[in-house]
Structure formats: C-alpha cells, structure tokens
Amino acid sequence: MKFRHKAAAFVAAALIAVTLPALFLPSAAAEWVVPLVDIVGFEYTGGADCTVNFNVNTAESGYAAIEVPPVKLTKEQAESYVLPDETQAYDGDADMRYFFGGWQTEPAGGKLISDGAALAELFEGSAEITLYARWLNKAELTVTLNDMSISSFGIQFELSTSGDALSVTTVGSAVAERVVYLAPDDWKISVAARTSSVVITPEQSPVEEGARYTYSAFINRIGTVNLPSALTKSA
C-alpha cells in the first residue's frame, strides 16, 4: 500500500497503533482506543447494525393492520432505544376489545421485551429480528342503570378509557344496559343521580385482564339512590 502524502501515512500508522492492542488486551482497552479513533476522524458505531422489525400481530388481536416501521440499530444504540408504545401500535378504535401489552419475541407468547436493555440482548449474532405486539383481553363490564323514581330525576353513567367512550342516561321507569371493555389501568367511571354522585377508578376497584364485572345503579320509587362505589366481579 502506497501513501501519496505523509499526513495520510501518519494517520494510517496511528490507527494501526491504537487498534491492534485492543485485539489482544482485555475489553477495558477499548476505553482509550475508541476516543483515539474518534480523534483521527472515524466514527465508532458500537458494532454491526441489526434491523428490528415490528409486527403488530393482528392474528392475535383481530385488529385492522397498521404499520410500525423497522429501525436499524447497533447493540450500543439498542440499549437506550425507546420501544414504540401503544399509540404507535394501534389507533384507539372504540370497538377494540384488546389492549396493548408490549412487544414479545414470538407471535403467541415468547419473551416480553420491555426496554432497550432487553432488546440489546437479542442482538448477539443477529442481523435481523422481529418483535410482535402482545395483545391482552380487556375486562368486560356490564352496566345496568335502573330509574324507577316518581320524580324521574334520572341516572347518568359516563366512562372514559383508551379504547371505549360511553355515556348512558336513564330517566323515569327505564332500564338501560350496556357492555363495555376496560383496559385494567386505563379507565374512569362517573355515575350521577339526583344530588348523589360517585367516581370509580382502578385504584378503588381494580380489574383483571379478561375478567367479567357488573355495575348496577338505581333510584327506587320513593327516591332512594343506590350508587355502588365499586364494580362487582362476576362468577
């Protein structure tokens, strides 16, 4: 190999001098090798790139396909990488009966990859990996509102959650019943009747993935209001 300029020869010699020892010394040597390589104008990337694919796994969720674009990362970059969240994995369809539970290594089951450190562990000897969305069943809630009051003030039921939006009102000798689905930690219920009201949250009445619950509220004919402050788990 010939060098036309002395400066180029000097740079090449410097590179050889600082990188060869790292091949034979403990990994701690890289702590001073890498900065020296950077000084002479070369970028250290932390290893070969690995392509990470994200499959939204619609076979598990029955949900309309959307795309999460792949990314190319080195192992070093993967350690601090923030995985796509639920807002990137689905668009919050109101009829969806599943909630996003993270990314896993197999279409059904496999290891849950919760952060960049867990992702980086998959990079050993891999040029390409695929993560699959984990979809979990929401809890099913049957709401029954019964207004039998003479004065017909009515009961109002409102629920807010990432996957469902519900508002039900019943007034005067009427029964309203609806079924909604709750992600365990992402919902809030407000129930109001006459001058009484109650707010129910996961902290007050936790729900389990895929379990069934009921909620019944009513005003009887003499005007007595019954607004439970928790959901009832079905057998």
**Across-strand partners of 25?**
none
If pLDDT is split at 50, 70 and 90, which confidence band does 65 have?
low
Residue of 36, 96, 94, 102 whose CA lies nearest to 68: 102
203-213 tens-digit pLDDT: 999 999 999 99
Model confidence at 48: pLDDT above 80:
no
- Asked whether the beta carbons of 164 and 180 are under 8 A apart, the reply is yes
**Percentage, residues of the chain above pLDDT 90:** 38
User: What domain range is 28 assigned to?
Assistant: 6-37
Model confidence at 24: pLDDT above 90:
no
Domain contains 58: yes
112 with 154, same domain: the answer is: no
Domain contains 195: yes
Q: What is the CATH number of the domain that holds 71?
A: 2.60.40
Domain contains 233: no
169 with 111, same domain: the answer is: no
Q: Give the 3-state secondary structure of residue 47.
A: coil
Q: How many domains does the chain have?
A: 3
Q: How far is CA 180 from CA 163, 167, 221, in A?
A: 9, 11, 28
106-161 tens-digit pLDDT: 988 889 999 999 999 999 888 999 999 888 888 999 999 999 888 778 899 888 87
- Residues 159, 96: Cα–Cα separation, whole Å: 15
Model confidence at 214: pLDDT above 60:
yes
Domain contains 84: yes
Domain contains 232: no
- Residues 113, 81: Cα–Cα separation, whole Å: 12
Model confidence at 35: pLDDT above 50:
no
Lowest mean pLDDT among 3-7, 46-50, 87-91, 182-186: 3-7
162 with 131, same domain: the answer is: no
185-202 tens-digit pLDDT: 889 999 999 889 999 999
Reported as half-sphere exposure (CB side, CA atoms, 13 A), residue 89 has a value of: 23
Domain contains 100: yes
151 with 97, same domain: the answer is: no
- Asked whether the beta carbons of 140 and 159 are under 8 A apart, the reply is no
- Asked whether the beta carbons of 168 and 143 are under 8 A apart, the reply is yes
